[in-house]
Amino acid sequence: MTVLCLALVLTGLEGLRDAGWDAAYRTDYALARVRFGELAREFPRHPAGDLALASVTWQEYLFKQRRLSSSVYSKDSKFYAGAEGVEASVDLEFQGHLGRAMEKAQAMVDARPESAEALYYLGAVYGVRAAYAMSAQRRFMAALRDGVRSVKLHQRVIRIDPSFVDAYLTLGTYHYAVGCIPQPFRMIAVMAGVRGGKAKGMGELEMVVRKGVFNRDDARAVLIALYRYEGRPGAALAELEAYSAKYPENLLLRVEMGATLAQMRRAGAAALVFEELLRGKDQRLRDLVLMQYGEALAVEGSYLLAGERFGGVEAGSPLAGQAYVRAGQCFDLAGKRGEAVRFYRAYLGMAGGGEGRKRVEEWVRKGYSGK
């Protein structure tokens, strides 16, 4: 009877957790919050509900700011794609959920120090806090410390239960990161007992996609970004096709497919994806579609068309500043000096302007040559 009751409890917890993440992956964040709220109420001593609420709070904010897509920023666009602080209300909500998750996860570990599940959730809380510290707060040392804590806890999970494949999401991500970070930070990780490399990390993430229980989609999302970063767009496209077939409502995946096709120099196929999105009923990501369509056209040297796509981004979009700089650059390269200056000035007229302001002012005077 006790075993049966435990099984029913776990089934209920997993059902609500899976239903919430299914909604989140479809970008229905309102429904995801409802399901995760139910999870927190039905299982008040378990950290899963609060941890999921913290994660989806941050994920929804990134979605609204157009910062979920791995395609938003190219390697040479840092000067106008600088990090922005998170809104105070979002930070307060995130920290509240995460604090409760931390308390509950620590209580689970205190009660059952050798429980793989308890150690996994405590490690997951540290992992989410590390990702937030790095991406939202730009506190890199704090992120590294929490990341190492997360890795060490999930290493314990694997030692206790080698079949707990989902723990390799954390391990794979950090093993890859250790292979990429500058030497001083890498030495800190090594001294803390975290060694790794890019190949090892990607192999572990691929294993989660194949064999994981509840982290398969997260691992797939990470792999897509890494495949593109490593110059393997074909592998990224295969994962995107599988991901999009499962969550057809997620327009971000379609945008990523178009950007990946452009990276593969399949301009016609990329254009078909972007045009379909621009004709669709759901226009929530129109600004992101126009940005990526513009980038795809720019790669092909179609600067006039690219400038028109960038220029089509509305002023209220979180991508407007980046779009107007890119529009100006492309119009300059197309020989449309008047249009280029108009968009540079539109960027300069925005509040703040960003760290690229001086460079844009120079382009107003001298033009952009692409060098």
With 60 as the cut, is the pLDDT of residue 8 above it? no
Neighbours of 34 (CB within 10 A): 15
With 90 as the cut, is the pLDDT of residue 370 above it? no
CA dist., res. 302 & res. 304, Å (int): 6
With 90 as the cut, is the pLDDT of residue 331 above it? yes
Taking all residues of the chain, what is their mean pLDDT, rounded to a whole number?
89
Residue 351: its pLDDT value, please? 66
CA dist., res. 174 & res. 274, Å (int): 33
User: Per mean pLDDT, which range of 36-45, 61-70, 141-150, 276-285 is the poorest?
Assistant: 61-70
Tell me the pLDDT tens digit for each residue of 194-210.
666 889 999 999 999 99
Find out whether 37 and 72 touch, Cβ atoms under 8 Å.
no
For the domain 1-75+86-161, what is the CATH code?
A: 1.25.40.10
Q: Please report which helix (H) or strand (E) contains residue 71, including its range.
A: none
Find out whether 154 and 166 touch, Cβ atoms under 8 Å.
no
Report DSSP state, residue 257.
H
Is the overall model pTM greater than 0.75, yes or no? yes
Tell me the pLDDT tens digit for each residue of 337-361.
999 999 999 999 986 656 688 999 9
Region 176-186: mean pLDDT is: 66
With 60 as the cut, is the pLDDT of residue 212 above it? yes
Q: pLDDT grade, residue 69 (50/70/90)?
A: confident
How big is the CA angle at 276 (ends 315 and 279), to the nearest 5 degrees? Answer: 55
Burial class (CB in 10 A: 0-12, 13-18, 19+), 171: buried
Region 43-65: mean pLDDT is: 95
